[in-house]
Amino acid sequence: MAGLKQSLLDEVSTWDIIDCHEHLPEESVRTGSVVDALTLLSHYTHNDLITAGLTRADYDRSQDHSLPLEERWALVEPYWERIRFTGYARAVTLAVQRFYGCDDLSGDTYQVISERMQAANTPGLYDRVLREACHLRACLTQIGRFPTANRDLLIPILPCMNFAAAGGREQLEQRGAAAGVTVRTVADLVAVMRYEVGQAKALGAVGLKMVSRKLTNPAASDAQHAFGKLMDDYEYDQGLLADYLLHELLEIAAAEDLVVAVHCGLIWTNWGDFTQTDPQFMVPVLLAHQRTRFDLYHAGIPWVRETGVIGKTFPNVWLNLCWCHVISPAMTISALNEWLDLMPYTKILGFGGDYGRPVEKVYGHLRLALDNLTTVLAGRVEQGQMSESQALTVAHAWLWDNPLELYRLKDRVS
């Protein structure tokens, strides 16, 4: 099986790939900042450091470039030793091996890694890391706005709350004026949202993003009552109005043929109550919006089995392994094996790095992802459930065909 897996891995490592989720800003945001080895410990890895005992105050000091590098490394080194075998840390190690010529991040290497990182922090970094090392042709990125550069690579998904938010009366009047709508009723606001989403699609957005949560389904009359109080500057039920507008937005997404991406499960920071983002909260939403296509993120970790059943049950749902391969490679492998039994392989998206400033870790994460995907497929071939050729077909679907079709990217990647 080792030889079979290596054969699959060698092949998929040459392919162009669509990265199904990042938080990457324009390259100039990264190249315009000071970086060092401790930058690689930001974005998720720092959560493990804090879980291991590092205080948040000391982590923040470790990122303060006005302090000596030696002092900052001393703050994190004991905790780095405690987490070096986690998925988050393994992505760091793979990145420093590939880009900075060191076998590991350690007390012996952090200074040379820092020097080499800053020297490489120049225009063309995204090409070197994302295009050349990772073979990425597109990154679906979420930074709350449209990237102002690198738009041939960075394809935006925008937060639902950019549209499904009431704000104050003055703001609503401004939004209405831009849309050519006089906002007097909640229906007028929905018309403004429809205009804004259409404009966003025309500018290149391919999806909207929400978070799984318990969502009520208010009546239009109740929403209008809350909206009237808002316009009259009285206290109103903000949650009710927000839920109504989100439901309306999900229907607009269907009309505009935009995907709704959904954060599910594990929270992105320490002390997050992940029980509030259970993917099962989406079931009533999926039933209510059957024309809308939903991309459920992060395998719903830790509810990977429940998420698989959702993918099996609902034709309007796809399952996205973004972030998963570094949260837990073993859990991701187990989930993917179950999902192959549960649902069409054409509804699974295989990779999303989910990083921002430490772009090098996209490569580390991708190496873990390709290893996980080929482990699962080699096992299936070994068991006689598919041929090697069929395994490559499935892998290609996960890494290219499925996101290409779901997000309508055919004209965006040439």
Residues 155, 114, single domain; the answer is no
The pLDDT of residue 195 is above 80: yes
Residues 116, 161, single domain; the answer is no
> When comparing pLDDT for 358 and 2, which is higher?
358
The pLDDT of residue 355 is above 70: yes
Residue corresponding to tokens 């590991």: 104
| Cα 23 from Cα 356, distance rounded (Å) | 5
What is the average pLDDT value for the chain, to the nearest integer? 97
Q: From residue 198, how far is each of 205, 249, 254 by CA, in Å? A: 9, 11, 11
Name the maximum alpha-carbon separation found in the chain: 71
* CATH code of 229's domain: 3.20.20.140
> 346 pLDDT band (50/70/90 cuts)?
very high
Q: Which of 72, 92, 120 is the last residue of a domain?
A: 120
Contacts of residue 311, defined as CB under 8 A and 6 or more positions apart, other chains included, come to 296, 317, 318, 319, 339, 342, 343, 347, 348
The pLDDT of residue 121 is above 90: yes
* Inter-residue contact 407 to 140 (CB < 8 Å): yes
Kindly report the CA angle at 307 between 306 and 308, in degrees rounded to 5?
Answer: 90
Residues 107, 191, single domain; the answer is no
> 1 pLDDT band (50/70/90 cuts)?
low
Residues 112, 174, single domain; the answer is no
Residue 72 DSSP code: H
> 167 pLDDT band (50/70/90 cuts)?
confident
Tell me whether residue 319 is in a domain. Answer: yes
Residues 139, 252, single domain; the answer is yes
Q: What is the pLDDT of residues 362-392, one digit of tens each?
A: 999 999 999 999 999 999 999 999 999 999 9
Tell me whether residue 327 is in a domain. Answer: yes
Residues 135, 116, single domain; the answer is no
The pLDDT of residue 396 is above 90: yes
> 300 pLDDT band (50/70/90 cuts)?
very high
- Residue 279 has a CB neighbour count (10 Å cut-off) of 26
When divided into structural domains, the chain yields a total of 2
Host domain of residue 51: 34-120
Kindly report which listed range (66-70, 167-171, 176-180) carries the lowest average pLDDT score: 167-171
- What integer is the mean pLDDT of 33-46? 97
Tell me whether residue 5 is in a domain. Answer: no
Residues 136, 66, single domain; the answer is no
pTM of the full structure = 0.96
Tell me whether residue 15 is in a domain. Answer: no
Residues 165, 94, single domain; the answer is no
The pLDDT of residue 414 is above 80: no
- Evaluate the CA torsion angle 312, 314, 316, 317 in order and state its sign: negative
Tell me whether residue 356 is in a domain. Answer: yes
Q: Which of 66, 100, 120 is the last residue of a domain?
A: 120
- What integer is the mean pLDDT of 290-303? 98
Tell me whether residue 142 is in a domain. Answer: yes
Residue 137 burial (C-beta neighbours within 10 Å; 0-12, 13-18, 19+): buried
Q: Which of 70, 91, 120 is the last residue of a domain?
A: 120
Letter string b/e over residues 206-239, b meaning 16 or more CB atoms within 10 A of that residue's CB: bbbbbbbbebeebeeebbbbbbeebbeeeebbee
Tell me whether residue 282 is in a domain. Answer: yes
Q: What is the pLDDT of residues 211-252, one digit of tens each?
A: 999 999 999 999 999 999 999 999 999 999 999 999 999 999
* CATH code of 82's domain: 1.10.2020
Beta bridge partners of 156: 141
Tell me whether residue 321 is in a domain. Answer: yes
Q: What is the pLDDT of residues 71-108, one digit of tens each?
A: 999 999 999 999 999 999 999 999 999 999 999 999 99
3-state helix, strand, coil in the chain (%, to 5): 55, 10, 35
Residues 139, 111, single domain; the answer is no
> 2 pLDDT band (50/70/90 cuts)?
confident
| Cα 282 from Cα 101, distance rounded (Å) | 45
Q: Hey, what are 19's tokens? A: 């990265």
**What pLDDT was estimated at residue 153?**
97
